[in-house]
Every structure is written in structure tokens, then in C-alpha cells.
């Protein structure tokens, strides 16, 4: 008993692939008697033929990977993309943004005047400071903070 033709017709009617067509094994003889698409439609209504659900991709591994990344794992050299220059650039951007934010805070609180702000801003742009702490030390050492 060849159900290939029935499967093909059912796939067309259901709008799925042949591999997703399910024929109830206990009612195979009913399915084998189907010749036309109309016969197949009737069998679908009866529940003899149906479409299997779509097999999705499991997110279990993705969730596990995400949890590990949140813990700070999976950051080794083999996981990094891009050249060393790309990494250095990202670190540079992060450092300069932090320094500029700190300078703006000093200016807004009127701990430094506009002229000092500009001078320090230029030094930051020129790469004169390795960190916020380094900038703080420089400001203290040079006596650039205003007395409030």
C-alpha cells in the first residue's frame, strides 16, 4: 500500500512539506483509499491526516551561554573578534568618555573654570591620562581645583 501520492496531495492541501504530513497509523486503509484532493480534504476534517508541528531550534544552549557571559566567562582570546587595534580602540573610547564625563562634572559643580576645563579636555584628547584616578591626581597636583 503506497501512501506517497496521498502524502503529496495532503502536503499541497495543508501547505506544508511532505515530511510534516502525519497519517494516523490505525486508519491507514482509509487514507490509502483517497485518490483526489477532495478525498484528502475530507480525511483532514476527520482527523485521519494532519500536519506535524514545526520543529524549532532549542534555546537551552543559548540561555546557558548567556548566563555564562553574564558571569564574565567566555571572554578568552578565542572568543574575541576583530584585531587587537579594535580592542584598543574600544578601551580608548571607554576611557575618554569616562574622563570627559568627570571633567563635565567638575565644570558643572564649578570646581574648575571654563579655561581649565578646555585645557584639561585637550589633554584628555591627547591621551595624557591613563585613568580617572590619574586625572584626579593631576588636578590635585597642579592645584587646579577652585576653592568653593
Structural contact between residues 111 and 148, judged by C-beta atoms closer than 8 angstroms: yes
What pLDDT is recorded for position 1? 61
Structural contact between residues 43 and 25, judged by C-beta atoms closer than 8 angstroms: no
DSSP one-letter string for 85-106? HHHHHHHHHHHHHHHHHHHHHH
User: For residue 42, is pLDDT > 70?
Assistant: yes
The residues near 82 (Cβ < 8 Å, ≥ 6 apart) are none
Average pLDDT over residues 27-42: 93
Higher pLDDT, 2 or 4: 4
What pLDDT is recorded for position 80? 87
The pTM of this model reads 0.53
Amino acid at each position: 500500500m503506497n501512501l506517497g501520492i496521498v502524502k503529496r496531495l495532503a502536503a499541497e492541501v495543508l501547505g506544508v512539506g511532505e515530511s510534516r504530513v502525519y497519517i494516523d497509523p490505525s486508519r491507514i486503509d482509509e487514507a490509502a483509499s483517497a485518490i483526489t484532493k477532495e478525498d484528502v480534504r475530507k480525511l483532514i476534517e476527520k482527523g485521519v491526516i494532519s500536519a506535524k508541528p514545526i520543529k524549532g531550534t532549542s534555546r537551552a544552549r543559548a540561555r546557558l551561554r548567556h548566563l555564562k557571559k553574564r558571569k564574565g566567562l567566555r571572554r578568552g582570546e578565542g572568543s574575541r573578534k576583530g584585531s587587537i587595534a579594535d580592542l584598543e580602540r574600544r578601551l580608548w573610547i571607554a576611557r575618554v568618555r569616562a574622563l570627559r564625563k568627570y571633567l563635565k562634572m567638575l565644570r558643572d559643580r564649578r570646581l574648575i573654570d571654563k579655561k581649565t576645563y578646555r585645557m584639561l579636555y585637550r589633554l584628555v584628547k591627547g591621551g595624557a591620562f591613563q585613568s580617572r584616578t590619574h586625572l584626579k591626581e593631576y588636578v590635585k597636583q597642579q592645584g587646579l581645583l577652585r576653592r568653593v
